[in-house]
């Protein structure tokens, strides 16, 4: 059993997170630190200095992922990796991404100070990019580490100001991996500490979530076409009201999702009405549908239910529909053995944990395709994320880092 | 019984409507002729010339309503009025408003040519404004005729370009009625020929609608507040989804309207979602509700039903609501005797009519408060109005003008 001074750990976490938050800080307390911007590079260089001060070997890979390394004494071709992403959304909070990097650094420092050199290499990574906030491409950092990204995928991308992905990357001295790069072969496990970005842990009064699956997602755009008509002169029986039809569809779809129960979620987040005028019967409605579950078969089954609902209502009301599926991302399981190890550590150390799935996407879903991967969540106050309001109680941050230390110790020593 | 040459009538109607449509014509065939613009004044002056060529006495009132008059031989203090409004919506069609003016001119010409001087004065009016399309004020023309408009109501109004109502009015040589003006006392009846602006007559294969009521309207803005949450990490049971709630409300409100049946109509035409993002559970929805019926008590009763529905759903789902009523306009009956006279004339002349209500507002609702008033509708193809696509079959235009001639003959000779 590791003896950890909670009070010192808490001070260190809060201190380093505040320090890292100064890179790209906005006037309102939020952080905007997009891939390959100056503030992004300053944050990476700042982290590099910090890691070196703490005695880690450091290096950038070709695309700008930053690594800090404790060299192993015995299995020198085997590396245990932790960390998260350094980029933020526009006006993001202090914890999304940053916590996983700072938590990793503190864990390595603690392990080094208390247990010396590990048997295997341990590395903490500050990944270049995960959010897709500057360019329309997400998971650039993790995909490069596993050899799952190529120049071709991004070479035509531009940001909102028309600046090119490639030129911005070159400007900071980075480059693409070779096209035949197969990814790192020394990596034996990846463990990511992250905020939950949902309200479940807080509501259930748990300090740690041990993630067993990351959900798959399907996203659709559904267009419902009726007939725009005068709101006063068109009797109810002569209408083809696209919003009335859409309301029936949305109600039935969400009812069905509630009936399916956890962990299925279905969300209609976006809806546009045409012509969107008080005194005109809506002629067209376009709405989005986001479906998530940890089991691919359930997603398929639920999608079929949705299509049945939409077809039934539209044909009954004489409406035309178009359903476009524009995202289809399979669920992925975390490594069962690793999940059990974390769970056992939590039990042994008396940490207040819950086995759960992740409803949001993370770098871990990229690693999980190729190496044993697991995630440790800490609570998000009111479920808020991607906002300057992101907050996790310091005692929960401590529990999260403790769990990370325990599993890294287990894997690398 | 009047003998009318259909073919000549048809030619005249089509000719004059095409001619009037040249004032304010857009590139795409639509018409934009807003109050107190140059094209508006050119149209009025053009009509004045036409009326004089046809032998009518003409005059403008102070605000710019144009009148063409056949002087009565006997009851010189009694005037029978017909006509409609000269202003259009932005990119309007050829028939809304214009038909009532041209129909009136042709009717007066026909009566004068065939029956000479009437006993009572007959006037056709080209009213200054009805649509409220340039300044946020509707029925400026008819309200001034009955003494129901004052300078105070419009003196601070500006159009979308910041031009002032008052200055634009003065620019064209018009002025306000005195504050104590009580309206015209010689008017004994008003009959307005207008397109239906709905699809009922076409669907039911009728050429004429004899209007018995103009509906009352209530309009509401309904705000539904829930909680914006992450679409992936918020289980269905922890959501306060403002769009799910709004969909239930809209569905139930429209279901209830269908259940009430004609002539009740209820429309949710406008809906806005916040934040309106694919992967965020909607935190707020604002939607409009427009309720119309010919009976005030039914409007009140239906409004109560709507409030019950909204309160029930919001309280069950933990949503907050705000209901704002921003329009409350009572229904108004047309003059029973006048309606019966028109109906009898239609029967006698073998005109293909239907007794119906108007679901849209018209100048007639202003006149109906003070003098016997009635409306004659002709069909709108596909119910389309306020669009360059406005169309009524020429044979139906002829029937409408015939009915107008018959009733004016009845009232003035």
Reported as a single tens digit per residue, the pLDDT across A130-174 is 999 999 999 999 999 999 999 999 999 999 999 999 999 999 999
pLDDT in tens, A83-104: 999 999 999 999 999 999 999 9
**pLDDT at residue B4 in the model:** 63
Shared-domain flag, residues B52 and B185: yes
B93 in reach of chain A (CB within 8 A): no
Whether the CB of A243 is below 8 Å from some CB of chain B: the reply is yes
pLDDT of residue B37: 98
Assigned domain for B351 exists: yes
Exposure string over B44-64, b if 16+ CB within 10 A, otherwise e:
beebbebbeebebebebbebb
CA distance B258 to chain A (A): 6
User: Which residues lie closer than 8 Å to A319 by C-beta, 6 or more apart?
Assistant: A224, A225, A226, A240, A242, A245, A313
A265: tokens are 């979620």
Of B230, B265, B267, the CB nearest to A385: B230
B27 touches A at CB < 8 Å: no
Residue A1 lies in a domain: no
Q: Which chain B positions have a beta carbon within 8 Å of A273's beta carbon?
A: 269-271
Interatomic CA distance for residues B213 and B192, integer angstroms: 13
Other residues' Cβ atoms within 10 Å of the Cβ of residue B373 = 27
> Do β-strands B373-378 and B187-195 pair in parallel, antiparallel, or remain unpaired?
parallel
Distance from CA of A380 to the nearest CA of B (A): 10
Q: Cβ distance B151 to B169 under 8 Å?
A: no
Percent of chain A's residues with pLDDT above 90: 95
Judge whether B267 lies within some domain: yes
The residue among A203, A172, A165 whose CA lies nearest residue A64 is A172
Q: What is the pLDDT of residues A121-131, one digit of tens each?
A: 999 999 999 99
Does residue A153 belong to the interface with chain B, where contact is any CB pair within 8 Å?
Answer: no
The average pLDDT across B97-115 equals 97
C-alpha triplet B172, B176, B181: angle, nearest 5°: 150
Collect all residues with Cβ–Cβ distance below 8 Å to B331 and sequence separation of at least 6. B213, B214, B215, B216, B293, B294, B295, B296, B299
Does residue A222 belong to the interface with chain B, where contact is any CB pair within 8 Å?
A: no
CB contact under 8 A, A268 and B233: no
Residue at token pair 């309606």: B339
Average pLDDT score over chain B? 96
Q: What is the pLDDT of residue B1?
A: 44
Model pTM? 0.89
pLDDT digits (tens, 9 = 90+) for B73-96: 999 999 999 999 999 999 999 999
Picking from B226, B232, B252, B285 by the largest number of A CB atoms within 10 A of its own CB, the best residue to mutate is B232
Contacts of B170 (CB under 8 A, 6+ apart): none
Calpha distance B197→B383 (Å, rounded): 5
Q: How is residue A198 written in tokens?
A: 């949902």
CB B276 within 8 A of CB B282: yes
Q: For residue B79, count other CB atoms closer than 10 A to its CB.
A: 25
What Cα–Cα distance (Å) separates residue B142 from each residue in A156, B145, B147, B172, B301? 62, 5, 9, 19, 31
**Domain ranges, residue B115:** 6-215+331-412
Q: In the listed set A308, A329, A350, which residue is the last one of a domain according to the structure?
A: A329
Same domain, A406 and A355: yes
Q: Residues B89, B170: one domain? A: yes
Cβ separation B235–A281 shorter than 8 A:
no
Does one domain contain both A269 and A375?
A: no
A339 close to A374: Cβ distance less than 8 angstroms: yes
Indicate whether B127 and B154 sit together in one domain: yes
Q: Are residues A195 and A235 in the same domain?
A: no
A11 and A107 within one domain: yes
Peptide bond into A88 cis (omega under 30): no
Q: What is the mean pLDDT of residues B250-259?
A: 98
- Residue A27: the pLDDT is 85
Report how many helices (DSSP H) and strands (DSSP E) chain B contains, helices first: 12, 16
Do residue B186 and residue B41 come from a single domain? yes
Q: Tally the domains of chain A.
A: 2
Instruction: For residue A282, give the nearest of B203, B262, B269 by CB distance.
Output: B269
Which of B297, B314, B329 delimits the end of a domain? B329
The answer to whether B238 contacts A279, with C-beta atoms less than 8 Å apart, is no
Q: How confident is the model at residue B2 (pLDDT cuts 50, 70, 90)?
A: low
Answer yes or no: do A194 and A339 share one domain. yes
Q: Do A198 and B261 touch (CB under 8 A)?
A: no
Q: Find the CATH number of the domain harbouring B265.
A: 3.30.70.360
Which of A261, A241, A252, A317 has its CA nearest to residue A289? A252
A43-55: average pLDDT: 98
DSSP element (H, E) containing A281: strand A280-281
The Cα of A78 is separated from the nearest Cα of chain B by a number of Å equal to 34
Per-residue pLDDT, B28: 85
Query: Does A236 share its domain with A122?
Result: no
Q: Do the Cβ atoms of A230 and B197 come within 8 Å? A: yes
Domain boundary residue, one of B310, B329, B348: B329
**pLDDT tens per residue, range B221-237:** 999 999 998 999 999 99
With residue B333 as reference, give the H or E element that holds it: strand B332-333
Check if A316 contacts B (Cβ < 8 Å). Answer: no
């Amino acid at each position: 059993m590791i003896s950890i001074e909670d009070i010192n750990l808490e001070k260190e976490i809060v201190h380093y997170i505040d320090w890292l938050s100064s890179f790209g800080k906005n006037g309102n307390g939020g952080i905007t630190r997009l891939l390959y911007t100056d503030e992004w590079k300053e944050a990476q260089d700042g982290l590099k200095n910090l890691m070196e001060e703490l005695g880690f070997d450091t290096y950038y890979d070709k695309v700008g992922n930053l690594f800090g390394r404790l060299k192993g004494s015995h299995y020198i071709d085997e590396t245990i990796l932790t960390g998260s992403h350094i980029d933020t959304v526009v006006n993001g909070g202090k914890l999304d991404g940053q916590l996983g990097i700072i938590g990793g650094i503190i864990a390595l420092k603690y392990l080094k100070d208390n247990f010396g050199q590990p048997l295997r290499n341990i590395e903490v990574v500050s990944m270049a990019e995960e959010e897709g906030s500057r360019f329309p491409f997400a998971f650039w950092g993790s995909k490069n580490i596993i050899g799952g990204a190529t120049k071709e995928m991004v070479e035509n991308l531009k940001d909102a100001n028309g600046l090119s992905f490639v030129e911005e990357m070159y400007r900071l001295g980075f480059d693409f991996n070779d096209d035949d790069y197969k990814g790192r072969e020394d990596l034996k496990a990846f463990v990511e500490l992250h905020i939950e970005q949902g309200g479940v842990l807080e509501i259930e009064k748990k300090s740690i979530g041990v993630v067993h699956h990351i959900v798959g997602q399907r996203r659709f755009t559904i267009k419902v076409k009726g007939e725009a008509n005068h709101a006063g002169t068109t009797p109810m029986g002569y209408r083809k009201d696209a919003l009335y039809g859409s309301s029936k569809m949305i109600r039935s779809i969400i009812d069905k999702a509630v009936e399916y129960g956890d962990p299925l979620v279905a969300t209609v987040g976006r809806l546009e009405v045409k012509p969107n005028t008080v005194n005109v019967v809506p002629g067209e409605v376009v709405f989005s549908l986001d479906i998530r579950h940890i089991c691919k078969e359930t997603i398929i089954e639920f999608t079929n239910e949705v299509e049945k609902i939409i077809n039934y209502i539209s044909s009954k009301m004489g409406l035309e529909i178009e359903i476009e599926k524009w995202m289809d991302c399979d669920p992925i399981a975390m490594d069962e053995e690793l999940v059990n190890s974390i769970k056992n550590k939590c039990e042994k150390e008396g940490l207040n944990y819950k086995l759960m799935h992740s409803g949001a996407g993370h770098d871990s879903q990229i690693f999980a395709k190729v190496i044993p991967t697991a995630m440790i969540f800490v609570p998000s106050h009111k479920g808020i994320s991607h906002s300057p309001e992101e907050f996790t109680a310091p005692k929960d941050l401590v529990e999260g880092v403790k769990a990370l230390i325990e599993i890294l110790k287990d894997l690398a020593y």
